[in-house]
């Protein structure tokens, strides 16, 4: 065809284009035409974060584009004030911070693209659900103390006697 149509140009369409024209007598090649596409390419989207209450959390995005690139972080679809860098940092997470995070990235063409969603999940500390009652036993008899606890991830136990850790 005598026309090359690019229906939706992206940064990947950047390049130097030419055409070779052939007929029964000869072959000729056109001069080069450079196509420079302004747009954004996200090379790394934000990742999900799972941390404990009170810890820090951060999200980051790696994007490239021509001209000025700007960022606007969002939580649950709402802009976060002053969150306009490629990294969004929360120094001390609270339950209010849970949700879905995205970042809108805009270049000099003014057409924003959105990153993929990343979720902030807060893990809870262990929850004591049951502890056995105190015991009064005769010497040389056995007794058992037990506890039931739940929590995210691995839950470890350290028994103590009179405030001191019991080894093993």
| Strand positions, DSSP E, the chain | 15-17, 20-22, 27-29, 33-35, 40-44, 49-52, 57-60, 62-65, 70-75, 78-79, 87-90, 99-106, 113-114, 118-123, 127-131, 147-150, 160-161, 164-165
- 95 phi/psi in degrees, rounded to 5: -60, -25
Q: What is the pLDDT of residue 36?
A: 86
pLDDT, position 70: 93
How far, in Å, CA of 48 to CA of 116, rounded?
10
As a dihedral over the C-alpha atoms of residue 57, residue 83, residue 104, residue 110, rounded to 10 degrees, the angle is -160
112/39 Cα distance (integer angstroms): 9
Across 111-139, average pLDDT: 84
Q: What is the DSSP letter of 134?
A: P
**pLDDT for the residue numbered 152:** 66
Of the listed ranges 21-30, 92-101, 104-113, 131-140, the one predicted with least confidence: 131-140
Q: What is the predicted pLDDT for the residue at 111? A: 80
What are the tens digits of pLDDT across the range 20-66? 999 999 999 999 999 988 778 899 999 999 998 899 999 999 998 77
Instruction: Please give the structure tokens belonging to residue 60.
Output: 């980051």
Phi, psi of 13 (to 5 degrees): -90, -5
For 131-157, how does the pLDDT look when each residue is reduced to its tens digit (9 = 90+)?
A: 777 888 888 888 888 888 777 667 788
3-class DSSP assignment, residue 97: helix
């Amino acid at each position: 065809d005598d026309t090359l149509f690019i229906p939706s140009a992206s940064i990947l369409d950047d390049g130097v284009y030419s055409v070779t024209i052939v007929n029964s007598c000869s072959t000729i090649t056109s001069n080069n035409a450079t196509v420079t596409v302004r747009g954004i390419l996200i090379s790394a989207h934000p990742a999900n974060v799972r941390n404990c209450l009170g810890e820090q959390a951060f999200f980051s995005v790696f994007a490239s584009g021509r001209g000025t690139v700007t960022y606007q972080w969002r939580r649950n679809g709402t802009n976060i004030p002053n969150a306009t860098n490629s990294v969004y940092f929360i120094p001390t997470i609270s339950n209010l911070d849970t949700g879905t995070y995205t970042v809108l990235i805009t270049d000099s063409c003014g057409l924003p693209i959105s990153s993929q969603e990343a979720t902030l999940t807060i893990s809870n500390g262990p929850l004591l659900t049951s502890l056995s009652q105190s015991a009064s036993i005769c010497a040389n008899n056995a007794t058992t103390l037990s506890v039931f606890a739940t929590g995210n991830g691995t839950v470890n136990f350290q028994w103590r006697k009179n405030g001191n850790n019991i080894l093993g």
